[in-house]
């Protein structure tokens, strides 16, 4: 077993009287793992992600990355926000390049190459010179994804990044993301409402109860489906079995009002 | 029919934006289209039509005024016809150095405005970026903002005498405090997400301010500068009737003493014209700077 990389140690969080995470939250994520958070709307997934990113502080307990408590946001933890944003005054290409703006460790040429690579990956190359206001919502989301990937953080925190995409683009990007994660050895925490997406992407799926967030179940997908994820896998009986299992868990976790 | 050239002209102005050009072509080539209503709710009007309506309405008002004055419905001593005002203005340009007075006024307005802007922009940005600075300065600024500028004229004369400084100070007073709060508000409205994205890319506070927050607030900042410049012109008269011997305000005040109503009106109209012109220029700058919006 590898040493834990990202550790939640008794984390709680409340905003004033509202407890978002009230039972101390303990969880460990190993290096280079793809972990998917699945849970009812409003259960606190975004809040957990923001605390990893350092944008919110836990009310109690701590989150450690490689043994050290996480501090304010930095380049090691990249985020794709739920309401994907791009900067309206920059072109699509400039937005993607912005991800590397504050990196002095890579040269200009390498930055341009990376910019083009990720533009191409999300299928926005021909829109390089357009301004975000002139492209569709789904394209804007892809800008944010490309920017975060280009930034090259060790930990990627992705909050429903594929929400506004059509099914085909979504599948394509899922395959790519999985590939990038294994190739570049990234640790990814990914939030989604889409159970199939969760099964397809995850090494581990964490199912949350409704607020306040508690872990209802943890499913080791890697153990059941292996590390290799291809589109064919989506049609396999194992995939479906796992999907149904998760759907069931999610329904239970969501509680009485859903039954 | 008349709107087709307008639509095309609009399309070509968004040069390089394939999306827009395509839209314009599609509109132009569609054959029989139902004539759009002139009262479409929140719908644009064809550019040509909009211009003619704007000009027509202004011209109509002038004609009405002229008629009312000509046919003796009002005493022209108090309410001269537009033609008399125009004649007075021509005469003033020719014999009373009105152009020079206008230049003096413009210089005063712009220097006060620039001083106010240069001070207010950094101050406003700091106020909403750091709560400590905001908390310390907001009450004072909010208070001064509500002091009527005319009431401070005596104080200004005590402090600065009757020279240029007093006039600039009064104009500055009318704009600076308003502008600071507007700038602070613009900064506050920069989406928190922009800031957070930039933080996770490893930027320092200064880099966030420079590269993101300032850029994000820039369009509304330029807009607010435009509005504030307008206010500056409205304070001009107050500043220039205080022992001045130059400027449009002085000209108006001098004409008033002899009941030369057409000249008074000509001065007022000139301020309006200069104000309108600078406003339009700043609007054009805004459109040019922020094509991406
Ligand atoms: N800044 C805040 N102040 C007060 N309450 C907050 C704040 N942020 C989040 N909350 C509350 O915390 C709860 C969890 O929010 P969070 O955004 O983490 O949910 P989520 O699981 O991401 O939901 P979704 O799936 O809909 O995105 C919500 O009930 C919300 O009202
Ligand atoms: Mg959320």
Cα separations in angstroms, A8 against A48, A54, B52: 10, 13, 67
CA distance B186 to B224: 9
pLDDT at B32: 60
pLDDT at B9: 40
- Average model confidence (pLDDT) across chain B: 85
Longest dimension (CA), chain A: 56
pLDDT at A100: 95
pLDDT at B11: 39
Same-domain pairing of B120 and B216: yes
Q: Which residue, A257, A161, A242, is CA-closest to A211?
A: A257
pLDDT band, residue A82 (cuts 50/70/90): confident
- Average pLDDT of the residues in B220-239: 90
The residues pairing with A15 across neighbouring beta strands, listed in sequence order, are A18
- Average pLDDT of the residues in A103-116: 93
- Average pLDDT of the residues in B23-45: 66
pLDDT at A204: 93
Instruction: Quick: pLDDT tens for B8-19.
Output: 344 344 344 444
Q: Are strands A60-65 and A215-220 parallel, antiparallel or unpaired?
A: unpaired
Q: What is the dihedral of CA B282, B287, B289, B293, to 10 degrees?
A: 140
Same-domain pairing of B69 and B155: no
CA distance A169 to A177: 12
**CB–CB of A95/B211 below 8 Å?**
no
The answer to whether residue B42 sits within a structural domain is no
Cα separations in angstroms, B100 against A165, A180, B91, B106, B258: 63, 69, 14, 10, 21
| CB A13 less than 6 A from any atom of ligand 1 | no
| Structure-block tokens of residue B189 | 């409205």
**CB–CB of A48/A25 below 8 Å?**
yes
CA distance A180 to A173: 10
Helix (H) or strand (E) segment spanning residue B39: none
> What is A127-148 written as a DSSP string?
GTTS-GGGS-HHHHHHHHHHHH
The answer, for A71 touching chain B at a CB cutoff of 8 Å, is: no
* Count of residues making up chain B: 293
| CB A83 less than 6 A from any atom of ligand 1 | no
The answer to whether residue B32 sits within a structural domain is no
The answer to whether residue B254 sits within a structural domain is yes
- Average pLDDT of the residues in B24-44: 66
pLDDT band, residue A101 (cuts 50/70/90): very high
Instruction: Quick: pLDDT tens for A180-211.
Output: 888 888 899 999 989 999 999 999 999 988 87
CA distance B289 to B217: 13
> What is B144-191 written as a DSSP string?
HHTS-GGGGHHHHHHHHTTSHHHHHHHHHHHHHHHHHHHHHHHHHTS-
pLDDT at A200: 93
Counted domains in chain B = 2
| Structure-block tokens of residue A216 | 């209802």
Same-domain pairing of B54 and B113: no
Same-domain pairing of B94 and B68: no
Q: Which of B193, B199, B291 is the closest to A83 by Cβ?
A: B193
pLDDT at B57: 95
Task: Give the domain CATH number at B241.
Answer: 1.10.3720.10
CA distance B168 to B128: 27
Domains of chain A: 6-76+154-258 (3.40.50.300), 86-152 (no CATH)
The answer to whether residue B193 sits within a structural domain is yes
% of residues, chain A, pLDDT over 90: 46
Higher pLDDT among residues B16 and B111, named by residue: B111
Pocket test for ligand 1, best of A20, A159, A161, A197 (most atoms within 8 A of CB): A20
The answer, for B16 touching chain A at a CB cutoff of 8 Å, is: yes
Q: Are strands A18-30 and A60-65 parallel, antiparallel or unpaired?
A: unpaired
Binary contact (B201, A130; C-beta < 8 A): no
pLDDT band, residue A94 (cuts 50/70/90): very high
CB contact set of B131 (below 8 Å; sequence gap of 6+): none
Same-domain pairing of B140 and B253: yes
Same-domain pairing of B57 and B160: no
Q: What's the angle, vertex CA B73, arms to CA B67 and CA B74, rounded to 5?
A: 100
| CB A104 less than 6 A from any atom of ligand 1 | no
Residue A95 has pLDDT above 80, yes or no: yes
Binary contact (A72, B199; C-beta < 8 A): yes
| CB A87 less than 6 A from any atom of ligand 1 | no
CA of A81 to the centre of ligand 1 (A): 13
- Average pLDDT of the residues in A216-230: 87
CA distance B105 to B233: 9
- Average pLDDT of the residues in A225-249: 89
pLDDT at B33: 63
Same-domain pairing of B105 and B243: yes
**CB–CB of B249/B239 below 8 Å?**
yes
Residue environment code for A52-88, b if the CB has 16+ CB neighbours within 10 A, otherwise e: bbbbbebeebebebeeeebeebbbbbbbbbbebbbbb
Domain that holds residue B248: 90-289
Q: Which of B23, B202, B288 to mutate to test the interface with A (most CBs of A within 10 A)?
A: B202
Same-domain pairing of B234 and B107: yes
Q: Which of B16, B193, B202 is the closest to A74 by Cβ?
A: B202
CA distance B119 to A216: 56
Helix (H) or strand (E) segment spanning residue A212: none
Same-domain pairing of B148 and B62: no
Which residue puts its alpha carbon closest to atom 5 of ligand 1? A15
- Average pLDDT of the residues in B163-180: 91
pLDDT at A22: 77
CA distance B46 to B159: 54
Same-domain pairing of B94 and B186: yes
CA distance A54 to A63: 9
The answer, for A177 touching chain B at a CB cutoff of 8 Å, is: no
Instruction: Quick: pLDDT tens for A155-169.
Output: 999 999 888 788 888
The answer to whether residue B156 sits within a structural domain is yes
Residue environment code for B9-36, b if the CB has 16+ CB neighbours within 10 A, otherwise e: ebbeeeeebeebbeebeeeeeeeeeeee
Q: What's the angle, vertex CA A210, arms to CA A208 and CA A215, rounded to 5?
A: 25
| CB A43 less than 6 A from any atom of ligand 1 | yes
- Average model confidence (pLDDT) across chain A: 88
The answer to whether residue B17 sits within a structural domain is no
CA distance A201 to B171: 63
Same-domain pairing of B58 and B168: no
pLDDT at A221: 87
**CB–CB of A233/A225 below 8 Å?**
yes
CA distance A74 to A86: 19
Residue B3 has pLDDT above 80, yes or no: no
Contacts of B203 in chain A (CB under 8 A): 101-102
The answer to whether residue B33 sits within a structural domain is no
Residue environment code for B142-174, b if the CB has 16+ CB neighbours within 10 A, otherwise e: eeeeeeebeebbeebbeeeeeebebbbbbbbbb
Same-domain pairing of B175 and B225: yes
- Average pLDDT of the residues in B113-131: 95
The answer to whether residue B166 sits within a structural domain is yes
Contacts of A53 in chain B (CB under 8 A): 196, 200
This complex has an ipTM of 0.87
């Amino acid at each position: 077993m590898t040493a834990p990389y990202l550790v939640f140690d008794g984390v709680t969080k409340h905003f004033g009287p509202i407890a978002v995470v009230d039972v101390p939250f303990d969880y460990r994520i190993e290096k280079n793992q793809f972990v998917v958070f699945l849970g009812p709307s409003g259960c606190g997934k975004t809040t957990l992600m923001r605390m990893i990113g350092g944008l919110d502080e836990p009310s109690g307990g701590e989150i450690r990355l490689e043994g050290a408590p996480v501090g304010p946001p930095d380049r090691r933890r990249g985020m794709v926000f739920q309401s994907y944003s791009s900067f309206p005054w920059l072109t699509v290409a400039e937005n993607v390049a912005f991800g590397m703006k504050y990196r002095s460790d890579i040269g200009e040429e390498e930055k341009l190459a990376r910019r083009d690579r990720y533009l191409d990956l999300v299928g926005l190359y021909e829109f390089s010179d357009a301004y975000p206001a002139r492209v569709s919502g789904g394209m804007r989301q892809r800008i944010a994804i490309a920017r975060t990937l280009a930034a090259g953080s060790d930990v990627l925190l992705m909050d429903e990044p594929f929400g506004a995409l059509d099914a085909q683009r979504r599948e394509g990007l899922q395959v790519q993301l999985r590939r990038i994660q294994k190739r570049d050895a990234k640790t990814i925490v990914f939030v989604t409402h889409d159970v199939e997406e969760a099964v397809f992407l995850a090494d581990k799926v964490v199912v949350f109860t409704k607020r306040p967030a508690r872990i209802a179940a943890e499913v080791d997908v890697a153990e059941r489906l292996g590390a290799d994820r291809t589109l064919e896998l989506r049609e396999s009986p194992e995939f479906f079995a796992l999907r149904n299992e998760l759907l069931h868990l999610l329904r239970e976790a969501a509680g009485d009002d859903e039954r | 029919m008349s709107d087709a050239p307008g639509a095309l002209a609009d399309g070509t102005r968004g040069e390089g934006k394939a999306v827009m050009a395509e839209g314009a072509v599609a509109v132009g080539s569609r054959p029989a289209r139902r004539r759009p209503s002139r009262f479409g709710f929140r719908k644009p009007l064809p550019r040509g039509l909009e211009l003619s309506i704007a000009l027509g309405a202004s011209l109509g008002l002038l004609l009405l005024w002229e008629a009312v004055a000509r046919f003796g419905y009002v005493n022209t001593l108090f309410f001269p016809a537009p033609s008399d005002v125009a004649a007075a203005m021509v005469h003033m340009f020719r014999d009373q150095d009105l152009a020079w007075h206008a230049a003096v006024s413009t210089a005063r307005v712009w220097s006060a405005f620039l001083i106010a802007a240069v001070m207010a922009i950094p101050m406003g940005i700091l106020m909403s970026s750091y709560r400590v600075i905001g908390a310390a300065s907001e009450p004072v600024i909010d208070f001064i903002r509500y002091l009527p500028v005319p009431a401070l004229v005596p104080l200004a004369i005590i402090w600065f005498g009757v020279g240029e400084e007093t006039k600039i100070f009064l104009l500055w007073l009318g704009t600076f405090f308003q502008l600071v709060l507007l700038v602070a508000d613009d900064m506050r409205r920069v989406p928190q997400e922009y800031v957070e994205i930039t933080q996770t890319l490893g930027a320092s506070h200064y880099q966030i301010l420079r590269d993101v927050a300032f850029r994000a607030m820039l369009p509304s900042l330029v807009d607010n500068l435009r509005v504030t410049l307008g206010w500056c012109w409205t304070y001009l008269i107050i500043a220039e009737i205080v022992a001045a011997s130059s400027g449009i305000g002085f000209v108006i005040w001098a004409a008033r003493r002899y009941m030369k109503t057409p000249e008074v009106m000509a001065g007022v109209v000139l301020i309006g014209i200069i104000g309108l012109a600078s406003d339009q220029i700043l609007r054009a700058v805004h459109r040019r700077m922020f094509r991406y919006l």
